[in-house]
């Protein structure tokens, strides 16, 4: 299998390595929320990348928020990449599976945004007021 590149942010890369090495024993609950590892393909490079992200659960689907590491007016790289190539790999604790990522829209986005704000109020109190963009909500649906 092709090499996987970790986030250029040292703290994110360290979190992901720890998570993968311990099957999430260290890193699943981090920053006060549940975390998963998302592996995706770069839209320009074709290389595989991975990052750690907070997630929520909606039935049998997983929900992510594309807030970005800092306050920016552009969507994070991982989000732009999964929009271009929605076939992703997911690790939650020791379980690994493939999924299809898609942005939630309209009423679904609003409902899932509320779900995620309840899990991590920082999305509403810190991120949302500091950006001009609508922060995307992403749904992961298992494919295998």
Does the pLDDT value for residue 31 go beyond 80?
Answer: yes
Within the chain, how many helices (H) and strands (E) appear?
Answer: 4, 9
Q: Which whole number is the average pLDDT over 126-135?
A: 75
Bridge partners of residue 92, in order along the sequence: 95
Give 30's strand partners. Answer: 33
Does the pLDDT value for residue 1 go beyond 90?
no
> Token pair 């890193």 is at which residue?
27
pLDDT tens-digit series, residues 54-97: 999 999 999 999 987 666 678 899 999 999 999 999 999 999 99
Bridge partners of 96, per DSSP, are 91
Q: Quick check: 127 pLDDT over 80?
A: no
Q: Looking at per-residue confidence, does 79 or 131 come out higher?
A: 79
Distance CA 102, CA 93 (A): 22
**pTM beyond cutoff 0.85:** yes
28-32, 73-77, 116-120: the lowest-pLDDT one? 73-77
Residue linked to tokens 């609003």 = 110
How far lies 3's CA from each of 18, 41, 49, 115, 121, in Å?
Answer: 17, 11, 9, 34, 35
What length is written for the chain?
144
């Amino acid at each position: 299998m092709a090499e996987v590149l970790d986030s250029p942010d040292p703290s994110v890369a360290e979190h992901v390595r720890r998570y993968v090495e311990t099957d999430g024993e260290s890193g699943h609950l981090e920053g006060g929320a549940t975390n998963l590892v998302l592996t995706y393909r770069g839209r320009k490079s074709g290389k595989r990348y991975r990052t750690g992200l907070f997630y929520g659960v909606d039935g049998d689907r997983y929900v992510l928020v594309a807030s970005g590491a800092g306050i920016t007016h552009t969507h994070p790289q991982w989000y732009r990449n999964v929009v271009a190539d929605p076939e992703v790999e997911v690790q939650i604790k020791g379980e690994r599976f493939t999924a299809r990522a898609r942005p939630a829209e309209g009423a679904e986005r609003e409902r899932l945004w509320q779900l995620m704000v309840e899990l991590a109020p920082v999305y509403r109190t810190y991120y949302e007021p500091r950006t001009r963009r609508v922060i995307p909500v992403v749904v992961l649906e298992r494919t295998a």
